[in-house]
Each structure stands twice: as structure tokens, then as C-alpha cells.
């Protein structure tokens, strides 16, 4: 049986008119996304570098995505109308069958590939800018997630700042985040940057606040029953501000200095140990090197090799940390004694090589510290 197969048609005036109309619509959609106000993205105005780059990428994707959508949806509608079944068609008529059109196949391979490659280049460039190209001389600040609040630690401020986080305008910041209990996530929508707060792991984000103001901090990882309280975007039960809301305040340099000195004074008598961490000296007697070795494998080996000092992973190799005469001092400058190693394990350390979490963030008990020190002492 022979079907009533339509013979090949040439695309006529109608097609080119439709194409021109879709082209105009596509250009309008591109211009629309390029000029759209931030509020359309349900995001506050960007207040830190490189947040603007992230917004540009978002706008680029929305603009190119909607231009593509205009053509795909437009042609579907155009072809559905132009090539609809007509009353004069035979009941078993089928449309034009196109096979092995190499020119067509070449173009529908080249164009999407080129677009995806362009998108990758732009993304990697911005990612590189966020991760690596920020100034190295930044102000190093830490934030810890707790159930259910954030705390902040600053150089030369004892203890922890527990209410608001302050940062100076136009100064590069290196923010190290981790958690004291479960996984939280640190997000400041106005900065567009987000990092998971994972116990025992330090995640770093780098940025430069550009606009003074108060910006909500939001936990974006479900962390227990009161997770919602870790968001300054969520209202409290009475519809007013959430009582647990915490804000990041970007100050002018003068106001920041005032706040910083006031905090130094207010926290002058605080201990640098975290509230949950044991304070005072760890009792090292009865440390078990075997248990310490197991702990080392799970808690330390991601950053420290059991090798010479020069064998760095993140921190130095720790074989001989207590017996290496060419390195008589620890990274914090104190003499390499079991007590001082215990102190670093307890309080953590931040230096050129990075940040070592403290005992709370690493979930180490005093007994664990004693076992680890016994193990390190046994390495010669
Ligand atoms: Cu902390 Cu969710």
C-alpha cells in the first residue's frame, strides 16, 4: 500500500516572516533580562564582590535561555499551524520525511556545543575568581554553625562574637566556616556566596563587601527542629523579626574599628576555647597510642601525612613532630612539647597553610587528645 506522502516543501515567505518576528521577540527577551531589576530574581541588591559576576552569569543564562525558548516554542507553534492537516488531505497522509540531512545535523551539533563550551568558560572564569583570584591579604574571620545559631571569631578578639557579624567595607575577607555539631550552611543572599558548615571540615569563601548595610544571614541546610530560626529572612511566630535572626553588618572602616575595639574590650576576659570544648589543660597521662593511631586515620590524615615536616598535604607531615631537631617549634611558634601539641589540638590554629579546626569542630574529647598526643609521641 502506498501512503499519500507529501513531497518536499520549500519554506516560503511565511517561514521567514515568522523567523523575523521570533528574532525580534528573542532580542526583546535578551534586553529584558539584561535590564531586569534585582528584585525580579527575588534577590536583594548585590553588596559584595564577586557577587556581581554571579549575577551577570545568571542574567546571561536567563537571556540566552529565553531567546532559545522563543525560537523553539515559536517554531513549534508556527509549524503546527503552517503544516496542519487540511480537509483536502488524504486520510492516511503523512508529512515530509527528512532523513540524513548532514548540513542540518552538523549545525544542530555545532551550535549547542559552542554554546555549552561558552557557558563552561564563563562559569569556570567566575569560579576561579571566587576561589583563587581574591586578594591573599584578607581579613581572616571564622564562623561556626551551632544548633541553632552562628558564632563568629576574629583575630585578637577573645572568645566568640555571638550576635552580629561585622565586616569593614572594601576590605577583602577570607571567611572560614565549620560546624560545632551537625551540618549547617552559611548564606548571605546579598553576597550571593554560600558554603556548607561541616563538622571537622573548613570551607572557605572569599569576598569583598562593597556596600555598608545590614544583611540577613541564612542557614540553608536543614539542621534540626529549629533550623528555621537560623534565618533572618524568616519571621518569628508573632510575624515580627525572628528572635534568633542574625545579621551581617558591613560598616565603614571607622565604624568597624569602633565595633572591633568595643568587642575586644567586651571579650577581654573570655577564653579562646569554645564553650563546648574543654577548657584548661588536657590531662595527657594514660594516652593510648594505638587508639590515637585509629583517630589519626579518621580525623587528621586528610590534612597531615605520617611523614617528614616537608611532606605537606594541608598542614605539615607529623612524623617526628615531637622529635625533629630541625623543627624544634610547632607552627604556632611554641616549642614542640606534648602539652603544646595538645593545645593546638584543643584550640585549633590558623596560619599560612590554612586552618586546623579546634577540638569542638573536630569532635575531640580530652581523652582523644591524650591518645593522639601519645600516638604522635610514638612516631620517630
Ligand atoms: Cu543550621 Cu539549618
326 falls within a domain: yes
Answer yes or no: is the C-beta of 230 below 6 A from any ligand 1 atom.
yes
Q: Among the listed ranges 115-129, 219-233, 306-320, 345-359, which one has the minimum average pLDDT value?
A: 345-359
Alpha-carbon radius of gyration of the chain: 30
Q: Which H or E run includes 349?
A: strand 349-351
Ranges 51-55, 115-119, 276-280: which has the least confidence: 276-280
112 lies in which domain range?
13-84+98-131
- In terms of domains, do 70 and 185 share one? no
DSSP, res 168 = E
pLDDT at site 4: 66
Mean pLDDT, rounded, for 206-231: 90
Output the domain CATH number for residue 163: 2.60.40.420
Number of domains in the chain: 3
C-alpha neighbours within 13 Å on the C-beta side of residue 11: 8
- Whether residue 45 is predicted with pLDDT greater than 70 in this model: the reply is yes
Low-confidence winner among 44-58, 72-86, 269-283, 347-361 (lowest mean pLDDT): 269-283
Same domain, 360 and 336: yes
Q: 317 CB less than 6 Å from ligand 1?
A: no
Residue 33 Cα to ligand 1 middle (Å): 33
Q: pLDDT at position 275, please?
A: 47
**% of residues, the chain, pLDDT over 70:** 92
Ligand 1 binding pocket includes 316 (Cβ within 6 Å): no
Q: Is 223 in the pocket of ligand 1 (CB under 6 A)?
A: yes
Does the CB atom of residue 219 touch ligand 1 within 6 A? yes
Is 271 among the domain residues? no
Q: Which helix (H) or strand (E) holds 105?
A: helix 102-131
Q: Which of 78, 88, 229 is nearest to 148 (CA)?
A: 229
**C-alpha 227 to ligand 1 mean position (Å):** 4
Instruction: Give me the chain's average pLDDT, please.
Output: 85
201 in the same domain as 125: no
| 229 Cβ closer than 6 Å to some ligand 1 atom | no
Do 321 and 358 lie in one domain? The reply is: yes
| Ligand 1 closest atom vs CA 148 | 1
What pTM value is reported for the model? 0.60
**Does residue 217 form part of some domain?**
yes
Q: Domain check: are 114 and 143 in the same one?
A: no
Tens-place pLDDT, residues 136-187: 678 899 999 988 889 999 988 888 888 899 999 999 898 999 998 889 999 9
Question: Per this entry, what is the length of the chain?
Answer: 380
- Listed residues 131, 152, 186: the one ending a domain: 131
Among protein residues, the one whose CA lies closest to atom 1 of ligand 1 = 184
Same structural domain for residues 34 and 121?
A: yes
Burial category of 208 from C-beta neighbours within 10 Å (exposed 0-12, middle 13-18, buried 19 and up): buried
Mean pLDDT for 37-63 is 84
Q: Tell whether 144 and 250 lie within a shared domain.
A: yes
Asked whether 63 and 30 are in contact (CB, 8 A), the reply is yes
| Structural domain includes residue 202 | yes
Residues 214 and 159 in one domain: yes
The closest-lying atom of ligand 1 relative to the alpha carbon of residue 231 is: 2
Helix axes 338-347, 366-378, angle to 10 degrees: 130
pLDDT of residue 130 exceeding 80: no
Same domain, 109 and 34: yes
Neighbour tally for 13: CB within 10 Å: 7
Based on the fold, state whether residues 70 and 43 are members of the same structural domain.
Answer: yes
- Is the residue at 91 inside a domain? no
- pLDDT for 72-98, tens place per residue? 999 999 989 988 888 888 888 887 777
Amino acid at each position: 500500500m502506498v501512503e499519500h506522502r507529501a513531497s518536499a516543501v520549500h519554506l516560503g515567505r511565511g517561514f521567514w516572516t515568522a523567523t523575523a518576528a521570533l528574532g525580534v521577540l528573542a532580542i526583546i527577551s535578551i534586553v529584558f533580562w539584561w535590564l531586569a531589576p534585582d528584585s525580579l530574581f527575588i534577590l536583594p541588591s548585590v553588596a559584595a564582590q564577586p557577587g556581581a559576576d554571579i549575577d551577570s552569569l545568571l542574567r546571561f543564562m536567563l537571556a540566552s535561555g529565553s531567546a532559545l525558548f522563543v525560537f523553539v516554542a515559536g517554531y513549534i507553534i508556527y509549524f503546527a499551524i503552517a503544516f496542519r492537516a487540511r480537509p483536502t488531505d488524504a486520510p492516511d497522509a503523512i508529512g515530509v520525511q527528512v532523513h540524513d540531512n548532514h548540513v542540518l545535523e552538523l549545525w544542530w551539533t555545532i551550535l549547542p556545543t559552542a554554546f555549552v563550551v561558552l557557558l563552561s568558560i564563563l562559569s569556570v572564569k567566575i569560579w576561579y575568581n571566587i576561589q583563587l583570584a581574591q586578594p591573599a591579604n584578607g581579613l581572616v574571620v571564622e564562623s561556626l554553625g551551632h544548633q541553632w545559631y552562628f558564632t563568629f571569631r576574629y583575630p585578637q578578639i577573645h572568645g566568640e562574637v555571638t550576635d552580629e557579624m561585622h565586616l569593614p567595607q572594601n576590605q577583602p575577607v577570607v571567611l572560614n566556616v565549620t560546624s560545632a555539631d551537625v551540618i549547617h550552611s552559611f548564606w548571605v543572599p546579598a553576597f550571593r556566596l554560600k558554603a556548607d558548615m561541616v563538622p571537622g571540615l573548613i570551607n572557605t569563601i572569599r569576598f569583598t563587601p562593597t556596600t555598608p548595610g545590614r544583611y540577613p544571614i541564612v542557614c540553608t541546610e536543614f539542621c534540626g527542629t529549629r533550623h528555621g530560626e537560623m534565618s533572618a529572612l524568616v519571621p518569628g511566630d508573632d510575624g515580627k523579626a525572628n528572635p534568633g535572626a542574625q545579621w551581617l553588618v558591613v560598616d565603614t572602616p571607622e565604624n568597624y574599628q569602633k565595633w572591633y575595639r568595643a568587642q575586644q574590650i567586651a571579650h577581654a576576659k573570655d577564653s579562646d576555647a569554645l564553650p563546648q570544648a574543654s577548657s584548661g589543660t588536657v590531662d595527657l597521662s594514660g594516652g593510648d597510642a594505638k587508639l590515637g593511631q585509629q583517630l589519626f586515620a579518621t580525623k587528621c590524615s586528610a590534612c597531615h601525612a605520617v611523614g617528614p615536616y616537608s611532606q605537606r598535604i594541608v598542614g605539615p607531615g607529623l612524623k617526628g613532630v615531637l622529635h625533629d631537631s630541625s623543627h624544634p617549634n610547632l607552627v604556632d611558634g611554641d616549642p614542640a612539647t606534648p602539652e603544646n601539641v595538645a593545645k593546638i589540638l584543643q584550640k585549633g590554629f590558623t596560619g599560612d597553610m590554612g586552618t586546623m579546626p579546634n577540638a569542638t569542630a573536630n569532635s575531640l574529647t580530652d581523652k582523644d587528645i591524650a591518645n593522639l598526643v601519645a600516638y604522635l609521641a610514638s612516631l620517630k
